């Protein structure tokens, strides 16, 4: 793994509540940002030393993230950063389609001009950005606005968890195909258009297409990465 975890730690703003939470957040972003590659074992002792805490909060954090699908744990085995194959990415896509479609349908009636302005601003920024991390951050914020407006906190949580599960792969994909970053953004313009006109059916359709598009690219990329 890349060993500039210390970097991540120092740059992560945090109001400490419990060490468990702190460690969990650090580990989550570490995995999402690719400090651990998919399938790579996570050395708890090493991590404990680096973060200057005991093994206990690490163990708890690992289980937390295992439940979120970011870590794979088996009894008496080293925990590893979770790995997805193209099949699984598609299965997650199927679920996300239903959930995000539901979410945008719910959100559409509650959206106002202020939200639209925010969404516009985000898309405009994404159009001109170079940095991948920043692009993903803005992208997440874009979808978060919509999914929060759905008013269903369970739905929001589940969607975000699924988004996290594929984020790592999206990041690696974007890193290899820089152009894809901006081509994905045309979908966002369409989503805004659908929301603007309060066209539930169109929004439903557009968001599904958006997910399908990115999943195709990511899973395709994954396949050639796995060399078959």
Partner DNA sequence: ATATTTGATCTTGGATCCAATTCCTGATTG
Partner DNA sequence: CAATCAGGAATTGGATCCAAGATCAAATAT
Which stretch, 44-52, 84-92, 122-130, 169-177, contacts its own copies (CB under 8 A)? 84-92
Measured from the CB atom, is 20 or 140 closer to DNA? 20
Q: Does 73 bind its own copies (CB under 8 A)?
A: no
Instruction: Give the C-alpha separation, 194 to 202, whole Å.
Output: 6
Residues 6+ apart with CB under 8 A from 11: none
Q: What is the DSSP string of 172-203?
A: HHHHH-TTHHHHTHHHHHHHHHHHHTT-HHHH
Of residues 13, 75, 179, 227, which one binds its own copies by CB under 8 A?
A: 75
Residues that bind DNA (CB under 7 A): 18-20, 41, 43-45, 53-57, 59-60, 73, 75-79
Q: Which does 152 bind (CB under 5 to 8 A by kind): its own copies, DNA, none?
A: its own copies
3-state secondary structure 15-71: CCCCHHHHHHHHHHHHHHCCCCCCCCECCHHHHHHHHCCCHHHHHHHHHHHHHCCCE
Contact region with its own copies (CB under 8 A), list: 35-43, 110-118, 154-162, 208-216: 154-162
68 scored as a contact of its own copies (CB under 8 A): yes
**In this complex, which beta carbon is closest to DNA, that of residue 73 or of residue 202?**
73
Binding part of the chain for its own copies, among 47-55, 98-106, 110-118, 132-140 by CB under 8 A, reads 98-106
Backbone angles phi, psi at 52, to 5 degrees: 60, 45
> In this structure, are residues 42 and 80 in contact, taking their beta carbons and an 8 Å threshold?
yes
Closest among 146, 169, 145 to 226, alpha carbons compared: 169
Pick out residues in 166-225 that bind its own copies (CB under 8 A).
Answer: none
SS3 label, residue 190 = helix
User: Considering the rule CB under 8 A, would residue 99 count as an interface residue with its own copies?
Assistant: yes
- Which parts of this chain interact with its own copies (CB under 8 A)? 17-18, 21, 59-60, 63-64, 67-69, 75-76, 88, 91-92, 94-95, 98-99, 101-102, 106, 152-155, 158
């Amino acid at each position: 793994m890349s060993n500039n975890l210390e970097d991540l730690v120092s740059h992560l703003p945090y109001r400490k509540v419990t060490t468990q939470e702190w460690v969990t957040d650090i580990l989550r972003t570490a995995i999402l940002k690719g400090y651990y590659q998919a399938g790579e074992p996570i050395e708890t002792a090493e991590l404990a030393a680096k973060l200057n805490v005991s093994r206990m909060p690490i163990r708890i954090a690992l289980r937390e993230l295992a439940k979120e699908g970011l870590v794979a744990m088996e009894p008496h085995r080293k925990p590893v950063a979770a790995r997805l194959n193209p099949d699984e990415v598609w299965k997650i896509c199927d679920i996300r389609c239903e959930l995000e479609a539901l979410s945008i349908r719910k959100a559409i009636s509650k959206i106002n001009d202020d939200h639209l302005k925010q969404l516009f601003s985000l898309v405009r920024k994404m159009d001109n950005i170079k940095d991948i991390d920043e692009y993903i951050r803005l992208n997440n914020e874009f979808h978060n606005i919509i999914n929060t407006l759905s008013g269903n906190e369970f739905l929001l949580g589940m969607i975000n968890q699924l988004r996290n599960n594929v984020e790592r792969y999206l990041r690696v994909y974007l890193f290899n195909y820089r152009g894809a970053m901006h081509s994905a953004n045309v979908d966002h313009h369409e989503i805004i258009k659908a929301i603007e006109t309060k066209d539930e059916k169109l929004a439903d359709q557009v968001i599904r297409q958006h997910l399908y598009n990115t999943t195709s690219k990511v899973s395709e990329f994954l396949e050639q990465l796995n060399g078959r």
